[in-house]
Copies of this chain bind each other. A is one copy, B any other.
């Protein structure tokens, strides 16, 4: 059972709009056990739409189209579908009544253009669109399904979940697909691949692994497919359990978890509070922590000590240490974390001091040198990292490393 998605719209081809419909639709289809073979974005052009439908029809069992159903003249999907199915447009009273109802509630007059939206290909089953004037259309031919939907996300999405997905599940005997994404932090993709090689090679044939790297984080996605739902869930979970044994410390969460949420959940569960004292991360660490709803329950505040005088005044960093060891040093970062913990009055404090770049590097401390510290009730942990030479990425990676250090401390305590 293979589906293809065709998104129609010039605005997608000139890059003005990001195609969020495609990923959302693909996720819905996958959750329902339908694999997506291809996504195609094509122009508001009759011949191009015709070609893409014809090509997809040769490859897939299900074709979902979005876009090109509005009342303005660049919308031509409907006419193209008439041509593809060799049929004609007929007036659909139910679709027209839906348009009348929508316009009534908005108190605006119905134009001839709007009335034309109730004209649909004779061979289709109309799909009611409670959120807009363009109906969806369901076609069946040679045991294949073609569905045309509006491109506006808040019209397309309920049509998919309420009508299209349930109808597809009814029509086809679908295999069960189960995905689990394991989130790792701390080592790169190739290092991880080397550790996991034997496990990966021993995966059952119906479970696939994908590496999805992001700065500082590698996501591992396992996708299993089977006729039996319970069996494939169990099989994937078994592989996850083996993986957890291989790299217990590197895994921080699953699926849509974020590191800041995971740390927040750990703090909340233990009734602990947090502060930060930031130099090179410049507030980004506090931002990531406070981007989590409800973070005010455990995060009290932060001192962003960019200038050395602020490190001395607010974080009691000794002038002698600054002149002897420099701001980017173990001595300074530990004082920052310890004083932030005491002054802000929290259980834990994270501190950062580094050279984000592009300027400020020396031979001894090149751009990318970062010291991090975690002060807590059982003492202070500090660690040095050597990152790259891109300022934005250094700030991002230092923040992820800092959150991960705290996560490990909280897990250990």
Question: Which A positions have Cβ atoms within 8 angstroms of B?
Answer: 10-20, 22-30, 35-44, 48, 52, 55, 70-72, 74, 105-108, 111, 113-114, 131, 152, 154, 179, 181, 188-191, 193-194, 208-213, 215, 221, 223, 276, 278, 281-287, 289-291, 293-296, 299-307, 309-310, 313-314, 343-345, 357-360, 368, 386-393, 395
Give CA–CA (A140, B53) in the complex, Å: 30
What residues on B are CB-neighbors of A294 within 8 Å?
359
When the two chains form the complex, which single residue of B48, B344, B345 contacts A37, counting CB atoms closer than 8 Å?
B48
Contact assessment for A14 and B108 in the assembled complex, using a CB-CB cutoff below 8 Å: no
B106 touches A386 (CB 8 A): yes
B345 and A309 form a contact (CB under 8 A):
yes
Each complex incorporates copies of this chain amounting to 2
14 A–B contacts, CB within 8 A, in A order: A12-B22, A14-B36, A18-B19, A38-B40, A38-B42, A40-B40, A72-B189, A74-B210, A74-B211, A106-B388, A154-B215, A278-B283, A296-B307, A309-B345
List the B side residues contacting A70 at CB < 8 Å: 189, 211, 213
Known: A111-B191, A310-B300, A368-B105. A26 touches B52 (CB 8 A): no
Q: Tell me if A304 and B282 are in contact (CB < 8 A).
A: no
Please judge, given known A-B contacts A282-B286, A293-B359, whether A304 and B304 are in contact too, CB under 8 Å: yes
Please measure, in the bound complex, the distance between the C-alpha atom of A284 and the C-alpha atom of B289, giving whole angstroms.
10
- A107 partner residues in chain B, CB cutoff 8 A: 386
| Of B27, B211, B213, B360, the contact of A14 (CB 8 Å cutoff) | B27
Are the C-beta atoms of A302 and B300 separated by less than 8 Å?
Answer: no
Residue in A30, A283, A294, A393 with the greatest tally of chain B CB atoms within 10 Å: A283
Further 7 A-B residue pairs, CB within 8 A, beyond A18-B18, A74-B211: A13-B26, A38-B43, A71-B189, A111-B194, A287-B395, A293-B357, A303-B314
Q: With A293-B357, A391-B293 in contact, do A27 and B15 touch (Cβ < 8 Å)? A: yes
A88 nearest CB across to chain B (Å) = 24
Instruction: Give the contacting residue for A39; candidates B40, B55, B181, B293; CB below 8 A.
Output: B40
The docked-state distance in angstroms from the alpha carbon of A363 to that of B387 is 47
Interface contact A344-B310, CB-CB below 8 Å: yes
The CA of A49 and the CA of B252, in the complex, are separated in Å by: 34
> Chain B contacts of A17 at CB under 8 A?
23, 212
Q: Assess whether A304 is in contact with B302, with CB atoms less than 8 Å apart.
A: yes
Least Cβ–Cβ distance between A162 and chain B, in angstroms: 14
Q: A393 → chain B, closest Cβ, in Å? A: 7
Closest residue of chain B to A211, judged by CB? B72
Contact B15 A23 (CB under 8 A): yes
Closest partner residue, chain B, to A345 (CB atom): B309
Could you tell me the distance between the alpha carbons of A22 and B106 in the complex, rounded to whole angstroms?
A: 36
Residue of B nearest to A215 (CB): B154
List B contacts of A190 (CB < 8 A): 71-72, 111, 113-114
Contact status of A301 and B303, CB under 8 A, knowing A72-B211, A210-B74: yes
**Contacts of A14 on B, CB cut-off 8 Å?**
26-27, 30, 36, 179, 221, 223
Which of B23, B194, B345, B395 makes the CB contact (< 8 A) with A18?
B23
> How near does chain B come to A389, taking the closest CB pair, in angstroms?
7
